[in-house]
């Protein structure tokens, strides 16, 4: 990716599932003065429900995804399960920078840290932390979107993800949503204006 004189900044939000990062990201996208544009991830998984290609994700076949990996077209990518890939296309970040905007990501912990390593000066990496694992489990159950096994799997994964929190630039504890939104907005605004 080419370096321009005044390119946008990269704002990464990562967290265990159920921590509230997507809610925070949506809130920040509605604040015009932050000049944010959402980075749409690519995936090789099938569309779910009413998902739209190019809006929710860029849907690629596993073969297309592997071809783009080989051609080094990703900023970061991960094979979550066999032939089930997720990643950020370099062209997506270039598209947003061409609009004169800052890029905001809602991605997993390892992807967020990869972006931070590639662009250490341009990236603010924020980890959204639930008040506790017990609270996380309650939130996941309240969603009523997954089986008990799936929830237990997410909670187990969350423990490993929580261990990476100190690797991020800042940690926002989502104990009350109002406080987390305010803290996230302050952190992002300060970084963008620096």
The span from the CA of 102 to the CA of 142, in Å, is 33
DSSP H helix total and E strand total for the chain: 7, 9
Query: pLDDT value at position 81?
Result: 78
Asked if residue 4 has pLDDT above 60, the reply is no
Distance of CA 7 to the CA centre of its chain: 20
pLDDT tens per residue, range 165-179 = 999 999 999 999 999
| Reported pTM | 0.88
**Residue tagged 């569309």 (tokens):** 47
> For residues 103 and 96, is the Cβ–Cβ distance under 8 A?
yes
For 113, the token pair is 């840290």
Distance of CA 93 to the CA centre of its chain: 13
Asked if residue 180 has pLDDT above 60, the reply is yes
Instruction: Tell which residue, 29, 10, 17, 22, has the closest CA to residue 156.
Output: 17
Q: How many CB atoms lie within 10 A of CB 88?
A: 25
> For residues 129 and 165, is the Cβ–Cβ distance under 8 A?
yes
Query: pLDDT value at position 3?
Result: 46
In the sheet with 74-81, reading across from the earlier edge strand, the strands are 58-59, 42-43, 84-89, 74-81
- Give φ, ψ of 187 to 5 degrees: -60, -45
Query: pLDDT value at position 1?
Result: 54
**Hey, where are the domains in the chain?**
10-193
For 30, the token pair is 């509605």
The span from the CA of 178 to the CA of 189, in Å, is 17
Asked if residue 70 has pLDDT above 70, the reply is yes
Percent of all residues in the chain with a pLDDT value above 70, rounded to a whole number: 97
Asked if residue 47 has pLDDT above 60, the reply is yes
CATH of 10-193, one of 3.40.50.300, 3.90.650.10, 3.30.70.100, 3.90.700.10: 3.40.50.300
């Amino acid at each position: 990716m080419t370096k321009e004189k005044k390119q946008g900044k990269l704002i990464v939000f990562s967290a265990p599932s159920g921590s509230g990062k997507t809610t925070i990201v949506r809130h920040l996208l509605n604040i015009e003065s932050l000049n944010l544009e959402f980075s749409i991830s690519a995936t090789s998984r099938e569309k779910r429900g009413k998902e739209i290609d190019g809006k929710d994700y860029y849907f690629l076949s596993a073969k297309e995804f592997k071809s783009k990996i080989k051609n080094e077209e990703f900023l970061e990518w991960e094979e979550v399960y066999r032939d089930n890939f997720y990643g950020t296309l370099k062209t997506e970040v270039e598209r947003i920078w061409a609009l004169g905007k800052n890029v905001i990501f809602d991605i997993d912990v390892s992807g967020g840290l990869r972006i931070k390593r590639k662009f250490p000066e341009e990236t603010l990496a924020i980890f959204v932390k639930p008040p506790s694992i017990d609270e996380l489990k309650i939130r996941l159950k309240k969603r009523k979107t997954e089986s008990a096994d799936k929830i237990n799997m997410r909670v187990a994964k969350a423990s490993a993800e929580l261990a990476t929190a100190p690797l991020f630039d800042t940690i926002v504890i989502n104990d009350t949503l109002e406080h987390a939104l305010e803290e996230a907005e302050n952190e992002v605004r300060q970084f963008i204006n620096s």
